[in-house]
A and B are shown apart, each in its own frame.
Chain A
């Protein structure tokens, strides 16, 4: 951004700590009156050096570290990391463990979208929305807690399986939560659709077209809201997603309204996926038979090689590139988070809008700065 500021222009620093932000980053806005002339993002306030730490931890310890990339989507991060090791070591995951993983990751997607919706409501001045969604999210978190023993950082996945089987009565407790959630999602939808102020603030604001979104490299709901049906669960199926029935939710408008609508529809699909899994889940072991992998994995050496594995995170495409040199620690892990390119695309999106819309646009991206910083 240029240093010189004309007499009728000013520079406004949003953040690093600001209630409208999903985490600490600094947004420098060059303003003329209320319109944004230029914008620049500064990152690094919660850089944790995850990639360096992973090089110095054994594979098993790494599961705990990747949890901390972003607390909201710890399970998808684990899935990506564990998937990399499974591909390198050629481990087959038993069907039951795959179903458990899908259930738990879709629950994780639900709670992430719920918090995203609530935060977005808060950003546009609809604070009660946060209270509504946090109440539902609590129910989902208790279900995850029941299985993994933790609310946000779970360390639940293991190479070849999951740490422990589903507890007794999980199905009976899950179905009522899902049923009430279905009703609540419809309520949210009605609320969003009927509120004229909300529509004014979201329809036609922060619009992305499909071509621009592809060029900017955004993924996840922000890309699907422009009409591109790009979902890693379909494009590159992992676990049992191939056998399950679900559709990729898209909208065509590409504005804030469409992004929120995509998230609402995706939550419905997640519920549908969990219901299918609960019906179909086979009995059997949760670790591959006759292998050293199990609840207490010994110090394992992974065969030398490299792999790039992608999973669908609630925010988009999560990928990890892992190089193994045959020792007990990875030689290099590159984490390709979905919010990093989305945050990069924020300045071109907000240039030309007004300050009031900055919060709405940035909120509709459902960010996690922790993951962009790693």
Chain B
């Protein structure tokens, strides 16, 4: 299965939902998905396009656009293509459906993204902080406007 087939299949199945597709190279493709359908898109990728390996989930903060992105990197054991799937969220109430029912190992990635960015994953089985202590919840340290770094740390140490 090559990059072009994957993009065609994806846009054919979800014409309204998938946008801004781009074939970066033979083994890298990018696409944007509507945030409400992220889980369904992942399910289709896993069932029909052999994307069985979730590499990572991460958040990216864009305060200038007042948006946040959730970025899924999904790879496969059967073909070499890695798909970068992005869902754009509003920065005021970042919420998205959890993909844990599709990819089991999304659990910790979503917990991590939640504690670092404040992105809420709906219907996650156990959404509590993973790396940070409970007291840090609400600081959202990886957001660009986080005050704690370097202001709350000794300047000459960073």
List the interface of chain A (C-beta within 8 A of B).
43-44, 47, 49, 51-53, 56, 214-217, 228, 230, 235-236, 306, 308, 310, 317, 319, 321, 323, 331-332, 334, 336, 340-341, 344-345, 373-374
A214 contact from B52, B73, B142, B149, Cβ within 8 A = B52
Q: How many chain B residues touch the partner (CB < 8 A)?
A: 32
Q: Is the CB of A341 within 8 A of B142?
A: no
| Residue with the greatest number of chain B CB neighbours at <10 A, chosen from A216, A306, A332 | A332
Q: What would 17 A/B residue contacts be, using CB atoms closer than 8 Å?
A: A44-B130, A47-B131, A49-B149, A56-B149, A215-B52, A215-B105, A216-B105, A217-B103, A228-B77, A236-B27, A306-B84, A308-B55, A308-B84, A319-B73, A321-B73, A331-B60, A341-B108
**How far is B56's CA from A47's CA once the two chains are assembled, in angstroms?**
18
**How far is B150's CA from A116's CA once the two chains are assembled, in angstroms?**
36
Q: Is the CB of B104 within 8 A of A216?
A: yes
- B45 part of interface (Cβ distance < 8 Å): no
B contact residues around A215 at 8 Å (CB)? 52, 104-105
- B158 part of interface (Cβ distance < 8 Å): yes
List the interface of chain B (C-beta within 8 A of A).
27-28, 52-56, 58, 60-61, 71, 73, 77, 80, 82, 84, 103-105, 107-108, 129-133, 141-142, 146, 149-150, 158
**How far is B111's CA from A44's CA once the two chains are assembled, in angstroms?**
12
**How far is B84's CA from A89's CA once the two chains are assembled, in angstroms?**
20
CB distance from A351 to the nearest CB of B (A): 14
Q: Is the CB of B131 within 8 A of A43?
A: yes
CB distance from B123 to the nearest CB of A (A): 19
Q: Is the CB of A332 within 8 A of B27?
A: no
User: Which A residue's beta carbon lies closest to that of B146?
Assistant: A52
B contact residues around A44 at 8 Å (CB)? 129-133
B contact residues around A373 at 8 Å (CB)? 131
Q: Given A236-B27, A341-B108, verify A319-B60 contact (CB < 8 Å).
A: no
A contact residues around B55 at 8 Å (CB)? 308, 310, 317, 319, 336
Q: Is the CB of A308 within 8 A of B82?
A: yes
